[in-house]
């Protein structure tokens, strides 16, 4: 028997994404965003508040990067979620992390995070119920030590963080439970 939890956003797992953009002066800002998802093979949608400093920067520069946070960098990933660039001018600098300018889009690549998508802004969806920034993924880069012999990311090595909205916890991905487009094939008969 199920017990009612009320109106609650019960989606699990949620990604821990590091969204980075420059301001109009080239200053780096990074935010932690769990409300993001691939919306086409070459597009990502970030459901982020229009008032975030990072959102405002994306609207000005028309570009951003999205990195996957990992266990090794959980403290800084969390800091990027609890500190606001609207009130803390040295937010990025406090971490001691390093950013390099993407060669493909006008956005910073945070060197410490192991996987990054470099994106061009293609659409902003702004309705009464939603504010979303949609980016075209121009390129994805990953640390070589995470790649298998076919050049694919080994998620078992990545230790990507996932967010638990039920108890505000971070967890780590890693164990493979089955193969997609295969686990249910016997039901197709």
Q: Does residue 153 sit within a domain?
A: yes
User: Is-contact 120 135, C-beta < 8 A?
Assistant: yes
- Is 0.85 topped by the overall pTM? yes
DSSP state of 37: E
What is the predicted pLDDT for the residue at 174? Answer: 77
Q: Does residue 38 sit within a domain?
A: yes
**Alpha-carbon dihedral sign for residues 6, 32, 21, 39:** negative
CATH number at residue 112: 2.30.110.10
Q: Does residue 1 sit within a domain?
A: no
Annotate 84-116 with DSSP letters as a single string: -TTT-TTHHHHHT--EEE-SSSSSEEETTSSEE
What is the predicted pLDDT for the residue at 42? Answer: 97
Segment 42-73, tens digit of pLDDT: 999 999 999 999 999 999 999 999 999 999 99
Task: Report how far residue 121's alpha carbon sits from residue 131's, in angstroms, rounded to the nearest whole number.
Answer: 14
Segment 111-130, tens digit of pLDDT: 999 999 999 999 999 999 99
Task: Give me the number of domains the chain comprises.
Answer: 1
Percent of the chain whose predicted confidence (pLDDT) is above 70: 100
Q: Does residue 152 sit within a domain?
A: yes
Helical (H) or strand (E) element with 67: strand 63-68
**Alpha-carbon dihedral sign for residues 152, 158, 159, 160:** negative
Q: Does residue 33 sit within a domain?
A: yes
Three-class DSSP category at 158: helix
Segment 121-160, tens digit of pLDDT: 999 999 999 999 999 999 999 999 999 999 999 999 999 9
Segment 77-114, tens digit of pLDDT: 999 999 999 999 999 999 999 999 999 999 999 999 99
């Amino acid at each position: 028997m199920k017990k009612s939890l009320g109106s609650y956003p019960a989606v699990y797992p949620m990604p821990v994404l590091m969204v980075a953009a420059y301001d109009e002066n080239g200053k780096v800002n990074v935010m932690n965003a769990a409300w993001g998802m691939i919306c086409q093979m070459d597009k990502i949608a970030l459901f982020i508040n229009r008032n975030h400093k990072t959102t405002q920067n994306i609207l000005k520069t028309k570009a951003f990067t999205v990195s996957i946070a990992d266990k090794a960098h959980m403290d800084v990933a969390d800091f990027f979620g609890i500190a606001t660039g609207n009130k803390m001018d040295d937010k990025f600098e406090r971490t001691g992390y390093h950013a390099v300018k993407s060669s493909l889009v006008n956005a910073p690549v945070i060197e410490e995070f192991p996987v990054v998508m470099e994106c061009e802004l293609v659409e902003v969806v702004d309705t009464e119920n939603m504010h979303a920034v949609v980016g075209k993924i121009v390129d994805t880069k990953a640390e070589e030590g995470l790649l298998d012999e076919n050049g694919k990311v080994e998620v078992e090595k990545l230790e990507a963080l996932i967010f638990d909205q039920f108890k505000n916890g971070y967890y780590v991905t890693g164990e493979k439970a089955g193969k997609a487009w295969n686990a249910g094939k016997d039901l197709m008969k």
